[in-house]
């Protein structure tokens, strides 16, 4: 072997040894080793975005790395959902979603974003009760009065919603099916213009949220006649629950949950599950959910993967049952 061959062999052997030495370091690189992107399917500034950013703080602390919120809008949330589905299943991309995700297969006609098949549910982080909110001048002092009035009015009663497939629209369709009402739907571009029209008396009712409607109710500008929680809220002890009205099947709270791409390693999913459990018990975060959003924390079981996965399956099935063929053309 001449000098040149010996030099080449030495280089090859040296490179091999260097690679072998580095390989264990790569193999032992544990999750997380870099920041996490949390996809949120709404624009910045809204209630869902604010909640996501508040949650990102304790999640970051619990999981051990930075969590960066990324707002991805368009196509009724489908762009955000698909981005999460198509992301590498390594734990560095997560999705914060709500009812829009579980209704997407039927509302958006997108079976390719069915969360029961395409995503890994991790846990629920909060629950905002739905309200039956009506204009202050409506001739109904109680929910029972309103139901009687609405049935008498038929399609003369108008019910606002935030566009075809929105949470307010889905909840209205479900509520009216259970209460056997047939109002005329009036679409708006979001909750803010709905509340403006409602306080002005231009629309009769809508299925709103405690996070936006309680201040107006307290100020006498609208009336909240019922709320979709198992027991009355401390913020509105005079307002009955849907169950008290005999509408117990109306279980349409706006929940928020964490999802990962399908196929993520089990140890990574377990790390998220543990971190989520710690994050939802963070006192600052709990105060945000319970006070700022007039919302409730989920049952402890729903912060675990098996229970939340079952909940998501039930939600997808519920919306398919109640919405198939009832949404009409997009507004």
CATH code, domain with 214: 3.40.190.10
Coil vs helix vs strand at 66: coil
Q: Is residue 7 part of a domain?
A: no
Tokens of residue 124, six digits: 């629920």
Cα separation, 185 vs 193, whole angstroms: 15
Residue with tokens 């169950």: 243
Cα separation, 206 vs 198, whole angstroms: 8
Say yes or no: 239 and 260 in one domain: no
Which DSSP string do the residues of 130-148 spell out, in sequence order? EEEEEETTSS-SSHHHHHH
Q: How many other CB atoms are there within 10 angstroms of residue 22's CB atom?
A: 10
pLDDT digits (tens, 9 = 90+) for 6-50: 544 444 444 444 444 444 444 446 899 999 999 999 888 777 888
pLDDT digits (tens, 9 = 90+) for 152-205: 999 999 999 887 777 788 889 889 988 999 999 998 877 888 999 999 999 999
Say yes or no: 219 and 264 in one domain: no
Torsion angle, CA of 289/293/299/305, rounded to 10 degrees?
-70
Say yes or no: 63 and 46 in one domain: yes
Residue 56 has pLDDT above 80, yes or no: yes
Residue with tokens 């949390």: 38
Say yes or no: 68 and 116 in one domain: yes
Q: Is residue 8 part of a domain?
A: no
Tokens of residue 162, six digits: 């935030």
Q: Is residue 330 part of a domain?
A: no
- pLDDT-based confidence at residue 328 (cuts at 50, 70, 90): low
Q: Is residue 24 part of a domain?
A: no
Say yes or no: 68 and 152 in one domain: no
Q: Is residue 13 part of a domain?
A: no
Say yes or no: 118 and 141 in one domain: no
Say yes or no: 135 and 240 in one domain: yes
Q: Is residue 164 part of a domain?
A: yes
Cα separation, 243 vs 233, whole angstroms: 13
Q: Is residue 31 part of a domain?
A: no
- Domain with residue 279: its CATH number is 3.40.190.150
Say yes or no: 214 and 229 in one domain: yes
Residue 125 Cα distances to 189, 256, 269, angstroms: 27, 6, 16
Say yes or no: 138 and 156 in one domain: yes
Cα separation, 224 vs 205, whole angstroms: 10
Q: How many other CB atoms are there within 10 angstroms of residue 101's CB atom?
A: 27
Cis bond before residue 32 (omega within 30° of 0): yes
């Amino acid at each position: 072997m001449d000098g040149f061959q010996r030099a080449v062999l030495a280089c090859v052997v040296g490179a091999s040894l260097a690679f072998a030495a580095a390989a264990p370091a790569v193999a032992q690189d544990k999750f997380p080793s870099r920041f996490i992107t949390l996809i949120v399917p709404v624009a910045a500034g809204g209630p869902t975005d604010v909640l996501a950013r508040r949650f990102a703080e304790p999640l970051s602390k619990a999981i051990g790395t930075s969590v960066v919120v990324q707002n991805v809008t368009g196509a009724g949330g489908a762009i955000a959902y698909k981005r999460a589905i198509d992301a590498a299943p390594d734990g560095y991309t997560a999705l914060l979603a709500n009812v829009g995700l579980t209704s997407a297969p039927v509302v958006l006609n997108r079976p390719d974003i069915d969360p029961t098949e395409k995503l890994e549910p991790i846990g629920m982080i909060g629950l905002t009760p739905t309200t039956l909110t009506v204009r202050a001048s409506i001739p109904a002092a109680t929910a029972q009065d309103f139901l009687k009035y609405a049935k008498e009015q038929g399609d003369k009663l108008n019910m606002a919603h935030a566009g075809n497939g929105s949470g307010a629209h889905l909840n209205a369709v479900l509520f009216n099916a259970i209460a056997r009402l047939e109002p005329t739907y009036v679409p708006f571009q979001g909750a803010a213009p709905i509340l403006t029209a409602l306080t002005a008396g231009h629309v009769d009712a809508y299925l709103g949220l405690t996070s936006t409607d309680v201040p107006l109710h307290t100020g006498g500008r609208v009336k909240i006649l019922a709320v979709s929680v198992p027991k009355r809220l401390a913020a509105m002890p005079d307002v009955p629950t849907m169950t008290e009205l005999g509408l117990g099947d109306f279980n349409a709270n706006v929940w928020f949950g964490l999802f990962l791409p399908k196929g993520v390693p089990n140890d990574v999913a377990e790390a998220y599950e543990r971190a989520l459990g710690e994050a939802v018990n963070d006192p600052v975060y709990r105060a945000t959910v319970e006070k700022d959003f007039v919302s409730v924390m989920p049952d402890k079981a729903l912060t675990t993967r098996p229970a939340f996965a079952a909940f998501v399956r039930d939600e997808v099935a519920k919306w398919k049952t109640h919405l198939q063929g009832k949404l009409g053309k997009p507004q």
